[in-house]
């Protein structure tokens, strides 16, 4: 069996709370739009988010290059920080890591984050590197499933999984759409790291099974598009209904295949 060891997290130093978000809305938009966006701040129920730079610096970003350079710098730093915490939390030496999975979809880097972590952490030069991109909100759990697959079998090993999302450089304030504002208000910056191991130690839950399901006719409902002003979210108003209709039967089929049930 494959074990998921305790999870580590890392946050950037800057924090924007709901009241400051409403203040910034008032400063950038006319009374009518500001009133609507203030209501969205309250409706989001997000009380605070962490960002890699102060709000004025984010609002001054103009070009795609500026935005992506900020993303890359802080993705490397947050990734290294959370990876060190994950390895330290379970007393795993870097030279014992057999594979490293890096997860991110809010910017572009090549070489990918996992390559940078090799030298920064002292991982073996032969460590298997697998970057996962463009999986959005499901990327972390997909990476756990893949890590478990890599560890399945008789060979012992440790997989380091590092997920970093730096959304704030893509903030949109120039004629933002409603979905742009939803993204501005919901998504902050942060990182998570975890080690998966085989054989087990008894320190964490076992990964018993995993599965990925692509819902029919869902490709246009949620995603990101690259523009001259950075990433902009694609969010269909049909998405909640699609999930409501599909989630329960999808979950029940998966559990049935494992001989389990929701109860």
- Give pLDDT tens digits for 50-104: 999 999 999 899 899 999 999 999 999 999 999 999 999 999 999 999 999 999 9
Higher pLDDT, 196 or 28: 196
Of 210, 207, 203, nearest to 5 by C-alpha is 203
Q: How far apart are CA 250 and CA 233, in angstroms?
A: 25
Considering the candidates 33, 91, 137, 206, report the single residue annotated as catalytic.
Answer: 137
Angle between helices 64-89 and 113-121 (to 10 degrees): 50
pLDDT at 153: 77
pLDDT at 210: 92
Is 137 part of the annotated catalytic residue set?
Answer: yes
Q: How far apart are CA 131 and CA 63, in angstroms?
A: 26
Q: Which residue has the tokens 């979809």?
A: 105
* pLDDT one-digit tens code per residue, 91-138: 999 999 999 999 999 999 999 999 999 999 999 999 999 999 999 888
Look up the pTM and report it.
0.91
CA angle 221, 222, 227 (to 5 degrees): 115
């Amino acid at each position: 069996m494959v074990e998921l060891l305790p999870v580590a997290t890392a946050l950037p130093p800057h924090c924007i709370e709901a009241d400051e978000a409403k203040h910034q809305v008032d400063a950038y938009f006319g009374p009518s739009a500001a009133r609507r966006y203030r209501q969205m701040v309250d409706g989001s129920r997000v009380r605070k988010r962490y960002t890699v730079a102060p709000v004025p610096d984010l609002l001054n970003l103009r070009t795609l290059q500026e935005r992506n350079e900020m993303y890359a710098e802080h993705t490397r730093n947050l990734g290294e920080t959370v990876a060190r915490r994950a390895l330290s939390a379970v007393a795993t030496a870097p030279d014992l890591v057999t594979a490293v999975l890096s997860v991110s979809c809010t910017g572009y880097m090549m070489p990918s984050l996992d390559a940078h972590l090799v030298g920064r952490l002292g991982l073996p030069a032969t460590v298997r590197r697998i970057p996962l991109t463009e999986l959005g909100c499901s990327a972390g759990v997909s990476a756990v499933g893949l890590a478990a697959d890599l560890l399945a079998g008789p060979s012992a090993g440790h997989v380091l999984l590092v997920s970093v999302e730096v959304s704030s450089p893509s903030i949109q304030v120039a004629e933002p759409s409603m979905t742009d504002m939803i993204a501005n208000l919901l998504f902050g910056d942060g990182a998570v790291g975890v080690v998966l191991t085989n054989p087990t130690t008894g320190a964490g839950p076992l990964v018993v099974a995993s599965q990925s399901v692509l819902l029919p006719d869902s490709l246009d409902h949620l995603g990101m598009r690259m523009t001259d002003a950075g990433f902009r979210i694609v969010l269909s108003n049909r998405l909640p209904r699609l999930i409501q209709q599909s989630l329960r039967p999808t979950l029940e089929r998966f559990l049935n295949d494992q001989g389990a049930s929701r109860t």
